[in-house]
């Protein structure tokens, strides 16, 4: 999927569950790197997604209660884009569960515009926008609840080059592509190229899957 429009902006759908709340729409509509779709309501999500094809879907809510699991599951499974949750409070247990359901990031609803835009851009590049503790606990829970009768396929770490193994080691600690690039003194593009090869060698499709199998 082409995540950007003709002007190079990331197509972003805003699903706003806050009546009369226009902060996110205002922030995103004025961001030069974002092509804003919406805001829209939950009942219009399916129609909007099929018609506009956003790369990132931002679900914004002002409730301090965790969103229903079924709502998140339906949104993730019926959304061809990557889901970022904007919440007043990022409750740890809820966030870990949401990661397992396929949510790709979390941000406080009062975060500055620069952080919100940066989170969206990171998701569009295949990143996960979450704290290292959240990622670690999500990996641990995945391993804990894995069915021993169906163990994950053996990883192909023996086929990784030394550089690829260095990237895997850093990825498993929760480092972003930019942090890995800075740590290894290579470019972001080189990290992405290595990751594509690493995914193929390990027969996985995401950072979460790779971290769990290593």
- What digits encode the pLDDT tens for the residues 1-26? 456 666 778 888 888 777 666 778 88
pTM, rounded to two decimals: 0.61
- Cα 86 to the center of its chain, rounded Å: 12
SS3 assignment, position 14: strand
Give per-residue pLDDT as tens, 132-156. Answer: 887 777 777 665 555 444 444 444 4
Q: What is the pLDDT of residues 40-87, one digit of tens each?
A: 766 666 665 655 567 888 888 887 777 778 778 777 877 778 889 999
Instruction: Find, among 109, 105, 47, 107, the residue nearest to 79 by Cα.
Output: 47
H/E stretch holding 129 = none
Task: State the pLDDT at residue 92.
Answer: 85
Least confident window among 3-17, 114-128, 190-204: 3-17
User: Residues 160, 147: contact at Cβ < 8 Å?
Assistant: no
List alpha helices for the chain, DSSP H: 23-29, 45-52, 69-77, 92-101, 113-124, 132-144, 162-171, 177-184, 188-202, 207-213
Separation of CA 93 from chain center:
17
Cα dihedral 62, 65, 70, 73 sign = positive
């Amino acid at each position: 999927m082409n995540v950007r429009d003709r002007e190079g902006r990331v197509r972003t759908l805003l699903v706003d569950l806050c009546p009369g709340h226009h902060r996110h729409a205002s922030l995103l509509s004025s961001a030069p790197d974002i092509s804003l779709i919406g805001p829209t309501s939950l009942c219009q999500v399916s129609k909007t997604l099929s018609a506009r094809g956003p790369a990132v879907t931002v679900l914004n809510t002002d409730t301090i209660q965790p969103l229903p699991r079924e709502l998140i599951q339906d949104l993730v499974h019926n959304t061809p884009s990557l889901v970022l949750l904007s919440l007043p409070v990022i409750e740890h247990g809820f966030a870990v569960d949401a990661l397992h359901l396929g949510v790709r990031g979390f941000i406080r609803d009062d975060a500055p515009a620069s952080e919100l835009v940066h989170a969206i851009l990171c998701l569009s590049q295949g990143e996960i926008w979450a704290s290292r503790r959240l990622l670690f606990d999500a990996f641990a829970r995945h391993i804990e609840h894995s069915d021993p009768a169906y163990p994950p396929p053996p990883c192909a770490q023996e086929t990784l080059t030394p550089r690829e193994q260095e990237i895997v080691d850093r990825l498993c600690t929760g480092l972003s592509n930019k942090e890995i690039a800075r740590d290894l003194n290579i470019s972001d593009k080189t990290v992405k190229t290595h990751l594509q090869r690493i995914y193929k060698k390990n027969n996985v499709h995401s950072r979460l899957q790779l971290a769990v199998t290593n």
